[in-house]
Amino acid sequence: MKTNKTILITGASSGIGKEIANIHAERGGDLVIVARSKDKLDQLKAELESKHSVKVTVIVKDLGLPDAPKEIYDEVKKTGIEIDYLVNNAGFGGLGKFHQREWEQDLAMINLNIVALTALTRLFLPDFVKRNSGRILNVSSTASLMPGPLQAVYFASKAYVTSFSNA
């Protein structure tokens, strides 16, 4: 199925995000790919553009930083790119007894898995509503549906993503 839609994918440099980028490019859609690793994003851009003749815009940004979602939104608006699909995929987990983990690690996880996802949704959703067109995919996990021994904050963050997406 071919598409002329433009997708923005966070966490696009590897894993699920990279695979979604490949699938969308195979269907002919343009992309805005976001992650922290410039080298990986540049490599993915080169692969997708040469293999599928699509336009790929790279935004190097650490979504764990508080201003990153707004900076991404502003950069997209400045370039005049109209996003049709937002894929909130960036995230990470951690392992260890809750009371023994470093608070900074868990706070970073909350900021990326919950705050950045919510902020990007809040920023792009009004554009979708105004155009009466657009889709948002929030990547969660089966971890959202069960307790998570040694991964309390990760499981809880994914439960938030699932609940927020269903709301």
Q: Distance of CA 126 to CAs 116, 129, 130, 133, 135, Å?
A: 16, 5, 6, 10, 12
3-class DSSP assignment, residue 86: strand
Helices (H), 15-151: 15-26, 38-52, 68-79, 103-110, 117-131
**Among 73, 118, 112, 67, CA closest to 92:** 112
Amino acid occupying residue 91: G
d(CA 129, CA 100): 44
Tokens of 1: 């199925």
Q: Is 85 a catalytic residue?
A: no
Active site residues: 154
